[in-house]
Structure 1
């Protein structure tokens, strides 16, 4: 029994060392200047074409188009991005809306960035977005994250 527990502990340590982020929840870093600089580059290259250079999103973003898909929402305070905890924003960006929200038949133009962007680049882009929000929206988002982690 002791050998089995020791083996599990060693395995867990190896897995954690191989991918330390796997054991820790995703946390955006809007106060880290290096992360924000990278995030701005990633956002400009990968996100701005749909979500807008000023985070404004596409017109009529709440109305489905002829293809049944919703236009890209704004990431500024007028949108709903800040209504979702860090972990969900990360999963949506990495895996796409349908998989992240477990909505099998959800049609979305939002691509999954798994294999396109690293986890650090995804966190950086989302951190840059959050860094653009006014202090009161950031504070509300921080509270949402605290509530989600309980």
Structure 2
């Protein structure tokens, strides 16, 4: 096995042991975890982000203030999607499903029932391609190192989803 494949396998095992959940799209459960299509358009994603996401996550991807502290209803404020947040810590499958299904539905589909997410689902407002375009825009704002880390997380999801 090549060194990159060993590294990816090791990281996937660590993520699995640390309780990282792999979220499978309900539409693509049989095809494996979703992954960013090559034809994603980050420029179109920037427009879609401004129209659909910026009201909660900020025009500059900065998130809501005190995003790590729960609100009165128990949900967390919208996190930043820039380099200061944790979005880049997650693979494509989680990011896609969280956006399409909404946080609560994505978590419940994966068996997580003790977390209250305020993220609404956008599957009825946005096409799958539009969601990918938004994610491409968000990723385009990250430094190389963060994009590389996020790609490794995505590869780990792909390996786990194929077993």
Q: TM-score, normalised by structure 1?
A: 0.77
Contact 2:139 2:147 survives alignment (8 Å): yes
Distance 1:123-1:66 versus aligned 2 partners, 3 A rule: same
- Distance in 2, matches of 1:22 and 1:147, equals 17
Q: Unaligned stretches of 5+ in structure 2?
A: 1-26
- TM-fit CA distance, 1:72: 0.2
Alignment of 1:91-102 (within 5 A): 91-102=97-108
Give the structure 1 partner of residue 35 of structure 2: 27
Q: TM-score, normalised by structure 2?
A: 0.71
Question: Which among 134, 145, 150 is matched to residue 154 of structure 2?
Answer: 145
Contact 1:97 1:106 survives alignment (8 Å): no
Contact 2:93 2:157 survives alignment (8 Å): no
Q: Unaligned stretches of 5+ in structure 1?
A: 1-18
Deviations 1:28-74 (A, max 9, x none): 25x75x61111111100000111011111011101011122110001
CA RMSD of aligned residues (A): 2.2
Contact 1:75 1:129 survives alignment (8 Å): yes
Give the structure 1 partner of residue 65 of structure 2: 59
Moved more, 96-105 or 37-46: 96-105
**Aligned residue pair count:** 130
Alignment of 1:67-82 (within 5 A): 67-82=73-88
**Does 2:127 align with 1:118?**
yes
